[in-house]
Amino acid sequence: MKRVLILCCALLAIVAAGSAAAAGTGQAAESHPSHPSHPSQAKQPAREILVMLHLPAPHFRPDSYYPPDYRDDAGHAARRRTAEALAREYGLRLLEDWAMPVLNVDCYRMAEPEDAVPGKIVEALSRDPRVKWAQAIETFSAQGGGDPLFPVQPAAQQWQLADMRKAATGRNVTVAVIDSGVEAAHPDLAGQLAYKENFVDGQAYVAESHGTGVAGVIAALAGNGVGIEGVAPEARLMALRACWEQADGATRCNSFTLGKAMNFALLHGAQVINLSLSGPPDRLLRELIDVACARGVRVVSAVDPASADGGFPASHPGVFAATALVAQMVSGRVLLAPGRDIPTAAPGARWGMVSGSSFSAAHISGMMALLSELRPAMALPKLRASIVMQPAGQAQAAGIDLCATVSQLTGKCTCLCGSTANLKDGRVP
């Protein structure tokens, strides 16, 4: 209850501040970071530099396509040894490398000693015949504010989303949100919808709370200065209205509306399908899910807390079932994800707090968009086996370790966490 009050207070404070700004000059209030009273006493982080080594590649053609993690051959190992030698000789710490065949270089990120004179090591490296060039890593600031509710999103800390952005954003991944209507013009969803279709006969497409909230968790815009950030802010959404909201606030769907929406999603190339709903076993939907699984589509569904087996379609063996309640992890298949006190988009260009396994499913769908960007062709069983869970007994709430999962899939560490460190040492399978 205390955490709920804190989050609600944070939300109300932000809304109040925004209203005051709108009533005044219309300018967002500036935030001023605190400064130490004695700046000389503040410990400065080690400066980082980039060191470029020549990349001999006679086979390289500028008009060819090369993936981001392109590595030419064993020559990379030799350049890595050269970079390690340079790091030792100049007192640097080698952090990571990245091949850039367009520029015909391997790029190495290194950290200078804390007592290094600014610019001196870069100047010396630039004269070294083994180095094509060296430079400091500069800082660039976006010309806009951060998203004010991002700090109170549970996934922001639990899944270290700011660091995840370095690895993936869901770019060009299509997620079908089969739900009630999504507000396409919402400030956090404007431009995010690739499709908006209505499969509820006799009703016009309208923006509704459940669908808009689910869509916001998955793909709300990042860095636009308002509201929240989606788990996969560069994913593209299919807003497929197969459910409708009743006067009592309940959201309802049926086999036909859901079947039509599923069919549309499969015909139009959805890579992830979010089903934040539950009901009795249904053959039509089961057959459609079977087709989706056979095509490698990631289907995500919410666990029904009132059902012993989690309800359908969560009980389907090919579905990624999600819940926010440890008690509902009815098998090793069920994934625990944030689903309580979640700030998200609401109709009327507003934001609100929501809870429930529907929004746990939305988090998993956002995660699937990230993983689909990184490993689009990975078979579903292998993808499921690659999801790393937090070990029991840690101070952090049990659930998915997204950092370690991404490291497992890519071999790259994008953020610091216990499981990721263990993974690098081979202690996490």
> 24-39, pLDDT tens digit by residue?
333 333 333 333 334 3
Q: What is the mean pLDDT of residues 170-179?
A: 96
Residue 75 has pLDDT above 80, yes or no: no
Residue 161 has pLDDT above 80, yes or no: yes
Q: Which helix (H) or strand (E) holds 158?
A: helix 154-158
Residue 81 has pLDDT above 50, yes or no: yes
- Determine, yes or no, domain membership for 402: yes
**186 and 123 in one domain?**
no
Residue 420 has pLDDT above 90, yes or no: no
Under 8 Å CB-to-CB from 159, ≥6 apart: which residues?
231, 338, 363, 367, 400, 402, 403
* pLDDT at residue number 416: 59
Residue 394 has pLDDT above 80, yes or no: no
**327 and 268 in one domain?**
yes
Residue 275 has pLDDT above 90, yes or no: yes
**179 and 122 in one domain?**
no
- Determine, yes or no, domain membership for 17: no
pLDDT range class, residue 156, cuts 50, 70, 90: confident
Q: What is the pLDDT of residues 91-121, one digit of tens each?
A: 999 987 866 564 677 878 899 998 899 899 9
**321 and 188 in one domain?**
yes
Where does a domain end: 77, 104, 136?
136
CATH of the domain at 60: 3.30.70
**73 and 199 in one domain?**
no
- Determine, yes or no, domain membership for 240: yes
Domain span at 409: 150-424
Q: Which amino acid is present at 58?
A: P
- Report the mean per-residue pLDDT for the chain: 79
What is the CA angle 272-275-277, rounded to 5?
170
- Determine, yes or no, domain membership for 161: yes
**264 and 131 in one domain?**
no
**353 and 232 in one domain?**
yes
CATH of the domain at 377: 3.40.50.200
Residue 169 near residue 222, CB atoms below 8 Å: yes
Under 8 Å CB-to-CB from 77, ≥6 apart: which residues?
none
Q: What is the pLDDT of residues 182-228, one digit of tens each?
A: 999 999 999 999 999 999 988 999 999 999 999 999 999 999 999 99
Helix, strand and coil content of the chain, in percent to the nearest 5, comes to: 35, 20, 50
Q: What is the pLDDT of residues 232-264, one digit of tens each?
A: 999 999 999 999 998 888 898 888 888 889 899
Local structure of 19: helix, strand or coil: helix
**314 and 167 in one domain?**
yes
**341 and 284 in one domain?**
yes
**207 and 178 in one domain?**
yes
Domains contained in the chain, number: 2
Give the span between the Cα atoms of 281 and 216, in whole angstroms. 28
Residue 253 near residue 242, CB atoms below 8 Å: yes
**101 and 68 in one domain?**
yes
Residue 412 has pLDDT above 50, yes or no: yes
Give the span between the Cα atoms of 88 and 111, in whole angstroms. 12
- Determine, yes or no, domain membership for 293: yes
**91 and 239 in one domain?**
no
Q: Is 333 exposed, middle or buried (0-12, 13-18, 19+ CB in 10 A)?
A: middle
Residue 271 near residue 281, CB atoms below 8 Å: no
pLDDT range class, residue 410, cuts 50, 70, 90: confident
Where does a domain end: 103, 136, 169?
136
pLDDT range class, residue 73, cuts 50, 70, 90: low
Where does a domain end: 112, 136, 160?
136
- Determine, yes or no, domain membership for 87: yes
pLDDT range class, residue 12, cuts 50, 70, 90: very low
Strand pairing category for 272-275 and 174-179: parallel
- Determine, yes or no, domain membership for 166: yes
Q: Which helix (H) or strand (E) holds 263?
A: helix 255-267
- Read out DSSP for 174-213? EEEEEES---TTSTTTTT-EEEEEE-STTS-----HHHHH
Residue 426 has pLDDT above 90, yes or no: no
- Determine, yes or no, domain membership for 49: yes
